[in-house]
Chain A
């Protein structure tokens, strides 16, 4: 990074980083739901129950939010 225009460059950089964080967060939430919801759905099919999908979805959502907080929240 050139030192002559640190101010606006830094601003733009953080804006782009935020834009990237937005998509990363979206990807995390999506994979949380897919992975744990999928595991729950699989358990439902296997054990012939109907509540594991819900548990899995909630678990996945929670875990994904935790992951987002770990990655972007604690600075």
Chain B
């Protein structure tokens, strides 16, 4: 693709992984980068929104309170109560924080002037997955004890003993490696690919606009597709925040369950 574009104009610089490498904006301060700034911004925005929306809580809710409570009850009822079952209340704060945090950080990808999804830097999803990993294993160990919990994971009941040689490595790998890895990589890859897609269409459209007259005519189509993809991205961003929280809830539910 880059080759075709480069052939039509002079030196189109196709977007790539380098566009995610944002140098620190204060020289010599390694952590003063845009993603980290956005992280703090998201925390400030979420706190502000939910404090304001719940401060003047009334029986007849205002629009703001209605919106805040809508998000909260979605996580509490839809993810907490339905999946974790009784005992779900103590996990709601974590699920709610996780959902809103990922959601807002994903939204940064399409908010004008910000336009960078924080989770397209892989370290952030890694950390979130590690926290989820610790939470659901801790819950399982606390509920059933270390030995019983490990036994439950590694040895599926009702299988002839020699088959365990085949199955146990898969179970262990699933619970301790594949789960956190897929959790984080799914979020990262979706945000990374989405941002890259938007970059291709908008930078490509801009480049076509600079080109010959024939290319100028084509360029609005690139922008139109780019705008359509922005709405598409909006859906993906919600979906990814939802899936991450849903899977966290499912893992916790699995660790709490006595029998699989």
Bitwise interface map of B from 170 to 207 toward A, beta carbon under 8 Å scored 1, else 0: 11011001110010000000000000000000000000
**Interface assignment of A49: CB less than 8 Å from any CB of chain B:** no
Q: Are A30 and B167 in contact (CB under 8 A)?
A: no
Which B48-77 residues have a C-beta within 8 angstroms of A?
Answer: none
**CB contact under 8 A between A71 and B156, given known A27-B174, A32-B170:** yes
**Interface assignment of B34: CB less than 8 Å from any CB of chain A:** no
Q: Are A70 and B170 in contact (CB under 8 A)?
A: no
CB < 8 Å neighbour of B170 from A9, A16, A23, A64: A64
Report the Cα distance A26→B178, complex, angstroms. Answer: 10
**Interface assignment of A66: CB less than 8 Å from any CB of chain B:** yes
**Interface assignment of B145: CB less than 8 Å from any CB of chain A:** no
Bitwise interface map of A from 1 to 16 toward B, beta carbon under 8 Å scored 1, else 0: 1000000010011001
Q: Are B178 and A30 in contact (CB under 8 A)?
A: yes
**Interface assignment of A42: CB less than 8 Å from any CB of chain B:** no
**Interface assignment of B81: CB less than 8 Å from any CB of chain A:** yes
List residues of chain A with CB within 8 A of the CB of B85.
1
Q: Are B247 and A28 in contact (CB under 8 A)?
A: no
Chain A residues proximal to chain B, CB less than 8 Å: 1, 9, 12-13, 16-17, 19-20, 23-24, 26-28, 30-32, 34-36, 39, 59-60, 63-64, 66-67, 70-71
Q: Are B167 and A16 in contact (CB under 8 A)?
A: no
Q: Are B179 and A27 in contact (CB under 8 A)?
A: yes
6 nearest CB pairs, A to B = A31-B173, A20-B250, A31-B178, A31-B174, A63-B166, A35-B169
CB < 8 Å neighbour of A28 from B170, B243, B250: B170
Chain B residues proximal to chain A, CB less than 8 Å: 78, 81-83, 85, 156, 158-159, 163, 166-167, 169-171, 173-174, 177-179, 182, 243, 246-247, 250, 260
Q: Are B170 and A63 in contact (CB under 8 A)?
A: yes
Distance between A4 CB and nearest chain B CB, rounded to angstroms: 14
Q: Are B82 and A9 in contact (CB under 8 A)?
A: yes
Q: Are A67 and B246 in contact (CB under 8 A)?
A: no
CB < 8 Å neighbour of A1 from B78, B81, B166, B174: B81
CB < 8 Å neighbour of A35 from B158, B173, B246: B173
Q: Are A19 and B246 in contact (CB under 8 A)?
A: yes
CB < 8 Å neighbour of A20 from B166, B170, B247: B247
Q: Are B178 and A27 in contact (CB under 8 A)?
A: yes
Q: Are B81 and A67 in contact (CB under 8 A)?
A: no
List residues of chain A with CB within 8 A of the CB of B166.
36, 59, 63, 66
Distance between B45 CB and nearest chain A CB, rounded to angstroms: 29
Distance between B244 CB and nearest chain A CB, rounded to angstroms: 11
Report the Cα distance A73→B145, complex, angstroms. Answer: 28
A/B interface sample: 21 pairs, CB < 8 A: A12-B78, A16-B83, A17-B83, A19-B246, A20-B246, A24-B250, A28-B170, A30-B178, A34-B173, A35-B169, A60-B170, A63-B166, A63-B167, A63-B170, A66-B167, A67-B167, A67-B170, A67-B171, A70-B156, A70-B159, A70-B167
